[in-house]
Structure 1
Amino acid sequence: MVAANLVAKDKKLDENNVFAVDDELDLLKSAAIYGANASGKSNLAKALIFMKSFMVNSSREKQSIDEIEVEPFELSTDTEDKPSYFELVFLMGGKRYRYGFEANSEKIVSEWLYYVPKVREIKLFERQMNSFKISKTYKAKVIQKVTRDNALFLSVSAQFNVELAKKILEWITDNLNIISGLDDRGYFSYTLDCLMNNEYKSDIIQLIKKLDLGISDIQVEQKDFTIDALPEQLPDELKKLIFQDGKRKAISISTLHRQFDGDGNSKLIKKFNLRMHESEGTQKLFALAGHLINTLEKGEILIIDELDARLHPLITIALIELFNSKEANPNNAQLIFMTHDTNLLSNKLFRRDQIWFTEKNRYGATDLYSLAEYKIRNDASFENDYIKGRYGAIPYIGDLTHLVDSHV
């Protein structure tokens, strides 16, 4: 997320929402992506999920006959038979890298890795089908001979202990985290692990407490339970499979709430089961809390599709402000999120280059563009202008008046 050469209405945004990498490069701490339903917002996250997974796993999880799970753009005769293109530009160890590949379902068509050690970009390797050009710096001269057509050279290099390849895959694994804000229950386990291992425990609990959810504390308890505790209707074979070592740990997550008497005096602490008694929004915040705190602590990148789903707008704003803050985000972590919440379209929260849109053109292809591309006043109402269609990226709804036949 490269910052544009512009000045915000509120000068504090220029100071807090942007950080300098060097004399020539400034980056943004957050970016919001808007667009109509089916405009391609989620596809951006899905493409990054695929790219990350394929970079890390293509050398070890696929056989030579396995297909690569890419999807060509099929609404154009010019592209339906062409390979899919992926590229990332990232900073690692103070140097800028550019890595990418083109692939169809059968093979890697091309692959490349460049870096900028000082001023000029230098090639580390380049691949065209089975033809490789590899620099001495990359130190992987013979590995191309064992690289399958459907595997990435970078991934194979890491498997054969090429140090730079290993560092890049470690960076992509540790620093680029992508979450679905609609299907976030799968991230419960990460927050739970943080609490159980006392990693970021106090920060996670403070985050939950300060978001005005009525929770004073969180407790995680483990209890042993045996095979006899399982429902009787489960087959004995399944019970034995579950309890191969004779017992398991049952984990419960409880939220603590203060109980008051009729005079408003706090008397007791009541314990609620998180999954059974707390709202969907509270459960989502718990699921996200571990990744949010980890990202801020380590200065990583977090991408959340549908961040605002099931959250109050003020809570969403509070989470964004954590990243747009020198104090809360001293390590320059970055948040990219897809959203429909127009309350966030404010020149008091974002610079113009932090607001992005996805819109399908007449041929069904998605365009991704920034509000910085528009010549507008610094005091313009981003939200009103967006709703009015000035920036595009909204649904144009037909006449629904006669949708239902009133004479039936």
Structure 2
Amino acid sequence: MLLRFRVANVRSFREEQELSFVVQPGDKASTGRVVAVAGRDLTLYPSVGVFGANASGKSNLLAALVLMRDAVLNSYARWASFRGIPREEFNLDPKAAEDSSFFEVDFVQESVRYTYGFELGAGRVEAEWLHAYPKGRRQVWFDRDATRDTEFEFPGERVRDRAQFVRLTRPNALFLTVAGTNNSPELSPIFFWFERNLWLVTPENDRHQREDSTRHALRGPRRERIEQLLRVADLGVAGVELMDGGEAVRLWHDGAAGDTYPVAWERESFGTRSWFALLGPILLALDEGAVLLVDELDASLHPRFAAEVIRLFQDPEVNAAGAQLVFTTHDVTVLGTPGGDRLLDPGQVWLVEKDKSGATELYPLSAAQPGEREDLTRSYLAGRFGAVPALSEGQIARRLRATRAARSA
């Protein structure tokens, strides 16, 4: 399970920013999940939502998580063709190109907490480290610093075959990638944590691939749950049919006379196809206990659909494996329920806004200390917590009228 993610000098993030799933002391967590870590109970949120104005950095946060994942999985093989390192540093400050890009995650695997991170320069890996806390105390498994005479250090000598892995590690490759892909008994489980987590779902770019994922799942044990979720979504879907040996899918819809009729896939609504495409990744994440990233959760979905996705992860019986959801959205109605309760605790709500230099700042809504009965949706839209567009009512229309008047003068 993911505890924290820290990033700096990546996309719109200039200074170090942190996203956390950890319930802080004093926060009242109605959806917290207790996890045993080295004999100590730690309470984590099953989901966090990222809110903010357009172009404030919401998608960049998910992109930064994926960039870290891709670096771990691909730096050994795919970066070999680069003279330097493919990175996306902050581009609104010329000095940022001279600084390293920083990534770090804290996560729990088999009741052990790990901290893994690295710093990427333009031409080499500047630093890399892995710490473990099997008994609550830090163990440094390896520490890499490109500025030292001895670049790699292995206190405690916990990593076997380390000399061989060091020889295979290029200046522009991560040591974890090399060791993990070469079956290190100690480091491969850390490497594969990245493979099994941080899956990204975007609203349109990979929808066809996700449709294929859901269609493929219909041939296995998830079929019944997929059909149930299609029926309960009030889309008029009565059943699902696999055709062409499972290579195509067709939905059957309820008719006015109580009968059912098929609809060609290309004639299904965009909303229906978007919901169908989400089901495969959601159920896979729930079954695997993975961290799922969903950009623009509200895209093409009714607000109640988006709320139901969040509820799936927050239901301890449905989410028995401890999956986690990180989503971005513009839909502030998911902060509450039609009955006036809160769907998300303040600690689950993270806000992004840009400072005067164009850099993204990330902070939890709980930092604003909202009242226990405060309407989070109304207060957010009123600007009490920040992270809303600096736009007054009617400002766009007034600007257009002024432009037209200036042209007519």
Asked if Structure 1 and Structure 2 have the same fold, meaning a TM-score greater than 0.5 normalized by the shorter chain, the answer is: yes
Does 2:89 match 1:93?
A: no
User: TM-score w.r.t. structure 1 length?
Assistant: 0.86
1:277 aligns with 267
2:72 aligns with 55
Does 2:25 match 1:34?
A: no
Q: How far apart are the structure 2 equivalents of 1:133 and 1:149?
A: 15
Q: How does 1:278-297 map to 2 (within 5 A)?
A: 278-297=268-287
Q: Report SS of the residue matched to 1:50.
A: helix
- Shift of residue 187, structure 1, vs aligned partner: 1.3
Note if contact 1:222-1:252 (Cα within 8 Å) is conserved in structure 2: yes
1:309 aligns with 299
Does 2:147 match 1:153?
A: no
What is the count of residue pairs matched by the alignment?
369
User: TM-score w.r.t. structure 2 length?
Assistant: 0.86
2:24 aligns with 4
2:12 aligns with none
Does 2:122 match 1:134?
A: no
Q: How far apart are the structure 1 equivalents of 2:234 and 2:206?
A: 21
Note if contact 1:204-1:289 (Cα within 8 Å) is conserved in structure 2: yes
1:171 aligns with 193
Does 2:335 match 1:345?
A: yes
Partner amino acid for 1:405?
Answer: R
Please list the CA deviations of residues 327-379 of structure 1 after superposition, one character each: whole Å capped at 9, or x if unmatched.
Answer: 22222211110000010122521111011101111111111100111122110
Does 2:323 match 1:330?
A: no
Over 4 Å off, 4+ runs: none
Q: How far apart are the structure 1 equivalents of 2:202 and 2:301?
A: 14
- Shift of residue 158, structure 1, vs aligned partner: 1.6
Q: Report SS of the residue matched to 1:163.
A: coil
Please list the CA deviations of residues 33-76 of structure 1 after superposition, one character each: whole Å capped at 9, or x if unmatched.
Answer: 00111111111111111111110111122226443221222323
Does 2:33 match 1:19?
A: yes
Q: How does 1:220-235 map to 2 (within 5 A)?
A: 220-222=242-244
Q: How does 1:187-202 map to 2 (within 5 A)?
A: 187-196=210-219, 198-202=220-224
- Shift of residue 139, structure 1, vs aligned partner: 1.4
Which of 371, 377, 383 in structure 2 is aligned with 1:383?
Answer: 377
Partner amino acid for 2:215?
Answer: L
1:256 aligns with 252
RMSD: 1.8
Please list the CA deviations of residues 287-326 of structure 1 after superposition, one character each: whole Å capped at 9, or x if unmatched.
Answer: 1101111111222211101011110011111111111112
Q: Report SS of the residue matched to 1:54.
A: helix
Note if contact 1:64-1:149 (Cα within 8 Å) is conserved in structure 2: no
- Shift of residue 184, structure 1, vs aligned partner: 4.0
Q: How far apart are the structure 1 equivalents of 2:371 and 2:62?
A: 31
Q: Report SS of the residue matched to 1:181.
A: coil
Note if contact 2:79-2:86 (Cα within 8 Å) is conserved in structure 1: no
Which of 341, 359, 364 in structure 1 is aligned with 2:353?
Answer: 359
Partner amino acid for 1:5?
Answer: P
Partner amino acid for 2:214?
Answer: T
Q: How far apart are the structure 2 equivalents of 1:340 and 1:18?
A: 24
1:111 aligns with 128
- Shift of residue 121, structure 1, vs aligned partner: 1.1
Partner amino acid for 1:118?
Answer: K
Does 2:231 match 1:209?
A: yes
2:3 aligns with none
Residues 102 and 173 of structure 1: is their aligned pair in 2 closer, same or farther, counting only changes over 3 Å?
Answer: same
- Shift of residue 160, structure 1, vs aligned partner: 2.4
Q: Report SS of the residue matched to 2:363.
A: strand
Please list the CA deviations of residues 365-397 of structure 1 after superposition, one character each: whole Å capped at 9, or x if unmatched.
Answer: 111100111122110111111111111111102
Note if contact 1:112-1:125 (Cα within 8 Å) is conserved in structure 2: yes
Question: Which one is further off, 198-207 or 180-189?
Answer: 180-189
Partner amino acid for 2:26?
Answer: L
Q: How far apart are the structure 2 equivalents of 1:134 and 1:179?
A: 37
Note if contact 1:252-1:273 (Cα within 8 Å) is conserved in structure 2: no
Question: Which one is further off, 80-89 or 187-196?
Answer: 187-196
- Listed as ranges, the gaps of 5+ residues in structure 1 are 224-249
Note if contact 1:182-1:305 (Cα within 8 Å) is conserved in structure 2: no
- Shift of residue 4, structure 1, vs aligned partner: 1.9
Residues 101 and 286 of structure 1: is their aligned pair in 2 closer, same or farther, counting only changes over 3 Å?
Answer: same
1:298 aligns with 288
Note if contact 1:111-1:128 (Cα within 8 Å) is conserved in structure 2: yes
Q: Report SS of the residue matched to 1:125.
A: strand
- Listed as ranges, the gaps of 5+ residues in structure 2 are 1-20
Q: How far apart are the structure 2 equivalents of 1:251 and 1:24?
A: 46
Residues 217 and 123 of structure 1: is their aligned pair in 2 closer, same or farther, counting only changes over 3 Å?
Answer: same
- Shift of residue 24, structure 1, vs aligned partner: 4.2
